[in-house]
Structure 1
Amino acid sequence: MARSLARSELEQLVDSLVLSWDDMASHTKAMLYCTVRHYLDGKIPWKITFEVDRWPDYTAVLWTHDKEETSVLAFEEGSSAVFLHWTSEDCLRQLLISTSVDWTRPVLLVAFPLSGLSILREHLENQGLPLPAAEDMFPCDTAYYLHKTCPSLEKVDRTDDKVTVAPLQPEHSHLVSSTWRHGGTPESEERTHYHITTFPSACVYDQDGNPVSWILLNYYGSQGLGYTLPDNRGRGYFQLASKYLISTCLQKGYLPFLFIEDYNEPSRIIHRKLGYSWNEAGRCAYIRLNKNKFKSS
């Protein structure tokens, strides 16, 4: 069986995770680092189980929230969010077999590297479980900001100087949730409120103090829920918000990264201009397993 780490061992785990500024960092390593760090700092209020193939010289890690918790990704209510980090196919294969995760339940694999997809399918076939259909997989590229400084905010092109940039406020939870394509539910609004009040965010406010463009940071370290209100697009506001959040992340020692879904070409254009880059090694997908058992989709 996989070994579940005690809290004292999590300190050793996070100390072993070194993120690289010179090469494409592993997004699974970055997510693991942020999750463990935030968990130890008390910023994650639900129970998370961290399992390794062996200890202390681990080669694969799986972490998931308590099965009784509402999904940390509100658009998959009733599922367990599962994350995986590994260094070889054999490591992944062994951990999938030995983990305590019940693979017959609804599971959402978060940003699962596509390099491990054949091993995942092999595991599911051996368990007699259905393979994920194409519509249950949401492929993405992992975009990294591999610079130690952020370009000056003054260089962002925009049509006026009457806007201000600052973090989002709790009272904006409903607006942010309602504009997210997976949002608009009480659970989504609750989770949005949690992220706004706990982690860094950036928002461009118009001259009347109304939010017009914003971006949040997920508890596992990636940027997400970026959006600009339709009437305010084409003015450089999202770039302004992004640079603000990049600067905040760099000040806190985070390596800025995000996931760009395949359909979202406008996001690719904007983030390339901002200085983000990606390659084939960062290809991943959000994958739903046992879709017929999900409460909602």
Structure 2
Amino acid sequence: MKILQKDEQMTAETVLLKHLPKSFQVYGYIYAYNRNKLSSMQFVVDTWPDFKVIICRSDPQKKHPSDLRKMVTFYCLDEKILSKMLLEDIIDWSTCLIVGGYDNSHTTLLKEVSLQRQLSYKDRACAHLLYLPDSSHLVKPAFDSELESRISSLDLSHAHLVNQTWKFGGDELGYKRIVRQISHFPSFCIIGGQGQPVSWLLLYEYMAMGMLYTLPEHRQKGYATVLVYTMAQKLLAEGYPVFCHVEEDNIVSNKLVKSLGLIEDPSYRERWVAFNT
């Protein structure tokens, strides 16, 4: 096993780029870390430089936000090696953990690990991975100058509103995470008549678009489509990857994202599970 150093992380980013789209989750984390968007994550590989498994975890030697301490993800080309790494002490299994954004085909292995370590196991989400192959795929939706003038960025005063409506938020950890995302990553919203956001979209710390939400009384106006397009433009301009996850039963969002040119492998899913919750 090896913990990657800064220069090695840049090399790993280049390797993971070749394995997109299935490597997007770890790629997003290492992309953000290499550009000083994150400072508390650590990347562990089985061997170097020809690794088969890379695990992203919180750095036990650094202070870090409490919610990031709970986050683990991985990209795997050899499940036997992954099994060995998960059964060793690479991950702190003594606390509650969210293992997320991994290839759903590894779920059986995660369940076996939970049994062997006598951990509670709970499914949180299973989602489609949609991504933009390149800028030529992005489709511009029709919207007028009045709506364009109402596009803005979220500020910290909006964090409570976002947290109240986020499916996985609503508590202090959710609020702190949203504050960090607004502070360090791009975000967009549509401003309503009272000067407050009525629709918004953020970027997770692993560079995926997410937390898309429109207040019920402002739906069916195309706001979400405009926000996803605007965010995709911003990410492309700054050289960021453009991708998102849409939960399996969210047909409306899946159709919306695809209308803008994002694509998926229909047979591929990513899963999030919780341990010790």
TM-score grouping bracket, smaller chain normalisation:
0.7 to 0.9
Conserved in 2, the CA contact under 8 Å of 1:59 and 1:86? yes
1:262 corresponds in structure 2 to 248
Measured in 1, the distance between the counterparts of 2:255 and 2:101 equals: 21
Asked if residue 113 in structure 1 is aligned to residue 103 in structure 2, the reply is: yes
1:15 corresponds in structure 2 to 14
TM-score (norm 2): 0.87
2:35 corresponds in structure 1 to 41
Conserved in 2, the CA contact under 8 Å of 1:143 and 1:260? yes
Conserved in 1, the CA contact under 8 Å of 2:139 and 2:259? no
Deviations 1:251-295, CA, capped at 9 Å, x for gaps: 12223111111232222232232223323453021101223xxxx
Over 3 Å counting, the alpha-carbon distance change for 1:41 and 1:189 in structure 2 is same
Asked if residue 63 in structure 1 is aligned to residue 49 in structure 2, the reply is: no
Over 3 Å counting, the alpha-carbon distance change for 1:159 and 1:66 in structure 2 is same
| Number of equivalenced pairs | 274
Displacement after TM superposition at 1:69 (Å)? 4.2
Match of 2:21 among 19, 26, 43: 26
Asked if residue 176 in structure 1 is aligned to residue 162 in structure 2, the reply is: yes
Measured in 1, the distance between the counterparts of 2:76 and 2:261 equals: 28
Asked if residue 87 in structure 1 is aligned to residue 77 in structure 2, the reply is: yes
CA RMSD of aligned residues (A): 2.6
Over 3 Å counting, the alpha-carbon distance change for 1:284 and 1:162 in structure 2 is closer
Over 3 Å counting, the alpha-carbon distance change for 1:15 and 1:201 in structure 2 is same
Over 3 Å counting, the alpha-carbon distance change for 1:266 and 1:100 in structure 2 is same
Displacement after TM superposition at 1:249 (Å)? 1.2
Over 3 Å counting, the alpha-carbon distance change for 1:59 and 1:206 in structure 2 is same
Q: Percent identity?
A: 25
2:175 corresponds in structure 1 to 189
Match of 2:152 among 155, 159, 166: 166
Over 3 Å counting, the alpha-carbon distance change for 1:128 and 1:162 in structure 2 is closer
Deviations 1:212-260, CA, capped at 9 Å, x for gaps: 1110011101111111111110000110111000111111222311111
Over 3 Å counting, the alpha-carbon distance change for 1:231 and 1:57 in structure 2 is same
Equivalent residue letter for 2:27: Y
Conserved in 2, the CA contact under 8 Å of 1:51 and 1:99? no
1:129 corresponds in structure 2 to 118
Over 3 Å counting, the alpha-carbon distance change for 1:170 and 1:131 in structure 2 is closer
TM-score (norm 1): 0.81
Over 3 Å counting, the alpha-carbon distance change for 1:12 and 1:220 in structure 2 is same
Unaligned runs of 5+ in 2: none
Measured in 2, the distance between the counterparts of 1:19 and 1:248 equals: 23
Query: 3-state DSSP class of the match of 2:121?
Result: coil
Query: 3-state DSSP class of the match of 2:17?
Result: coil
Asked if residue 50 in structure 1 is aligned to residue 43 in structure 2, the reply is: yes
Equivalent residue letter for 2:159: S
Over 3 Å counting, the alpha-carbon distance change for 1:193 and 1:92 in structure 2 is same
Match of 1:72 among 64, 67, 78: 67
Measured in 2, the distance between the counterparts of 1:138 and 1:41 equals: 28
Conserved in 2, the CA contact under 8 Å of 1:26 and 1:282? no
Measured in 2, the distance between the counterparts of 1:162 and 1:80 equals: 38
